[in-house]
Amino acid sequence: MAVDGSKNASLPLMAAALLADAPVTLRRVPNLSDVANMAHLLAELGCETDATHGTMTLNNVDTSLTHARYDIVRTMRASICVLGPLVARRKIARVSMPGGCSFGARPIDLHLKGLEALGAKIQLDGGDIVVSADRLKGATIFLGGAFGSTVLGTANIMSAATLAQGTTTIESAACEPEIVDVADLLTKMGAKITGAGSPRITIEGVEQLGGADHHVIPDRIVAGTYAIAAAITNGDITFQDFPYDYLLAVIDSLKQVGVDVRKVDESEDSRCCRVQVTSSRRLKPVRVTTQPYPGFPTDLQAQMLALLCLAEGNSIITEKIYPERFLHVAELTRMGAQIFREGPTVVVQGSPKLVGAPVMASDLRASASLVLAGLAAEGETIVTRVYHLDRGYMQMEETLAALGANIERFDPDKELAREIAEGPESTEPLIETTMPVKTVKVS
């Protein structure tokens, strides 16, 4: 299977296009609801987007628009990453305060600290943040927080600093590959950035930024999710465009469990290559702690937890980024998992099997975790509220079915209505995983 372009790169890349005085083209943009939401938000900000077959062109046609409204921002927290580009290019930005999410508060204090350090004036007005500055001024900014660096905070400040007067240094910047991808696009647009991917990024302000043509990096979280799908079904999947280099912490943990993640051709670029994933039938327990990149990513914690429910022994997972990110635990327990939580740590007592059950998704990665558990469980698992899945996975049920899984998406209200008469379209499509296919053989 081919790995799609990264959602968590595409969103700040799209926001960065607000800085451009000419059209920006992004290639390999995934077709996801979060991306559609960002395109909707940009349209309201006078930046038209045109996307066909994964290629998106973004063009600023009205730079007088500067208000990101609550009803869009509340559906997608990542909307906050328009803040920096807007105030840098249009001198003012009004963005609704993003709410929290199902796994805890999602503060933006570091974003605001960084913009204030660049000389912006910050006001809170009726639930909106209003940020203004005639011209941002370069500064040295420490952007570390209690949970380490901030990914979208780094994207916001780095983007804003490209048009500031003078030089900006971001200390304790996020090192994620998605940040490097944003820096690569900004550099193509004419920005002067060094150190992206390291904890210290230096940006020398320029007068304006032009257009660019940029390929989005592969999605490491999607790749990691399907690698775990191969492992949890004792399967055998060969991937194209696998970001091997961006998943070394995950590959290390998987190898300890007994999962083999192998480059098919050592001469290929490790950031985007062919990789085969197979696993032994006996999974070993491990200790995993989520960390900022290059550590184990929090966005694969739920999926790894599902796998470790079937390991022979006790595993320990500690969540250092979002200590509350365990809503999937109760649902996995419904499937027979033995999981014991103590604050930011869970102990998973491996079971010989999981049993299919009706479960409910709560957030994007938790929903992926429940589907993976359903693939391995005995019997049928019904996962509801799978609209969460669509935020970060393109047609997951089709991808898994093509790999040999027994999975379908259906809408019980529609089924019922079809029996009685044409009924209303339900908003909560379901995924039904019937008797799982234990061995997934694809190439």
For the chain, what's the residue count?
443
Contact call for residue 32 and ligand EPZ (CB under 6 A): no
CB of 2 to ligand EPZ, least distance (A): 20
Residue range at the interface with ligand EPZ (CB under 6 A); choices 86-94, 102-110, 269-277, 435-443: 102-110
Q: Which residues, 63 to 92, sit near ligand EPZ by CB under 6 A?
A: 78
- The phi and psi torsions of 230 (rounded to 5 degrees) equal -65, -45
Nearer to ligand EPZ, 129 or 400 (CB): 129
- List the helix and strand counts (H, then E) for the chain: 14, 23
Binders of ligand EPZ: how many residues, by CB under 6 A?
Answer: 22
Looking at this protein, which amino acid is placed at residue 426? S
Taking CB under 6 A as the criterion, the residue among 321, 329, 360, 382 binding ligand EPZ is 321
Q: Is residue 101 flagged as an active site residue?
A: yes
Cβ atoms of 215 and 10 closer than 8 Å: no
Nearer to ligand EPZ, 320 or 409 (CB): 320
Peptide bond into 429 cis (omega under 30): no
Question: Residues 149, 155, 159, CA angle at the centre, nearest 5°?
Answer: 140
Q: Within 367-396, which residues bind ligand EPZ (CB under 6 A)? A: 392
CB 92 within 8 A of CB 86: yes
Q: How far is the CB of 294 from ligand EPZ (least distance, A)?
A: 12
Q: Which is nearer to ligand EPZ, 28 or 365 (CB)?
A: 365
Minimum CB separation of residue 356 from ligand EPZ in Å reads: 25
Q: Which of 47, 81, 101, 272 is catalytic?
A: 101
DSSP run (H or E) holding 51: strand 47-52
Q: Which of 5, 30, 153, 429 binds ligand EPZ (CB under 6 A)?
A: 153
Count of C-beta atoms within a 10 Å radius of residue 30: 21
What is the C-alpha to C-alpha distance for residues 8 and 76, in angstroms, rounded to an integer?
12
- On whether the CB atoms of residues 103 and 330 are closer than 8 A, the answer is no
The stretch among 109-117, 124-132, 196-204, 352-360 that binds ligand EPZ (CB under 6 A) is 109-117
Angle formed at CA 65 by CA 64 and CA 68, multiple of 5 degrees: 155
Instruction: Indicate which single residue of 214, 365, 385, 388 sits in contact with ligand EPZ (rule: CB under 6 A).
Output: 365
Separation CA 168–CA 156 (nearest Å):
13
The letter for the amino acid at 71 is D
Indicate whether 161 belongs to the interface with ligand EPZ (CB under 6 A): no
Positions 126 through 145 that interact with ligand EPZ (CB under 6 A): 145
Of 50, 62, 109, 171, which one interacts with ligand EPZ (CB under 6 A)? 109
Stretch that binds ligand EPZ, among 148-156, 179-187, 329-337, 431-439 (CB under 6 A): 148-156
Q: What is the rounded distance in angstroms from the CA atom of residue 278 to the CA atom of residue 128?
A: 49
**Member of 23, 46, 54, 107 binding ligand EPZ (CB under 6 A):** 107
**Helices marked H in 45-82 — which ranges?**
70-73
Residues 274-303 that bind ligand EPZ (CB under 6 A): 298-299
**Candidates 51-59, 150-158, 273-281, 409-417 — which segment interacts with ligand EPZ by CB under 6 A?**
150-158
Residue 229 or 283 having the CB closest to ligand EPZ: 229
Nearest to 436 by CA among 365, 334, 355: 355
Is the CB of 28 or the CB of 111 nearer to ligand EPZ?
Answer: 111
Q: Would you say 42 or 283 has its CB closer to ligand EPZ?
A: 42
Contacts with 418 (C-beta within 8 Å, 6 or more apart), sequence order = none
Taking CB under 6 A as the criterion, the residue among 70, 147, 387, 410 binding ligand EPZ is 147
From 36-44, 146-154, 231-239, 426-434, give the range in contact with ligand EPZ by CB under 6 A. Answer: 146-154
Residue with tokens 């399967």: 235
CA angle 129, 70, 80 (to 5 degrees): 55
Per CB under 6 A, does 328 bind ligand EPZ? no
Query: What's the CA gap between 7 and 35, in Å, rounded?
Result: 7
Rounded to an integer, what distance in angstroms lies between the CA atom of residue 222 and that of residue 147? 23
Closer to ligand EPZ by CB, 35 or 430: give it. Answer: 35
Kindly list the catalytic residues. 101
Which residues would be at the binding site for ligand EPZ (CB under 6 A)?
A: 8, 11, 78, 106-111, 145, 147, 150-153, 298-299, 321-322, 364-365, 392
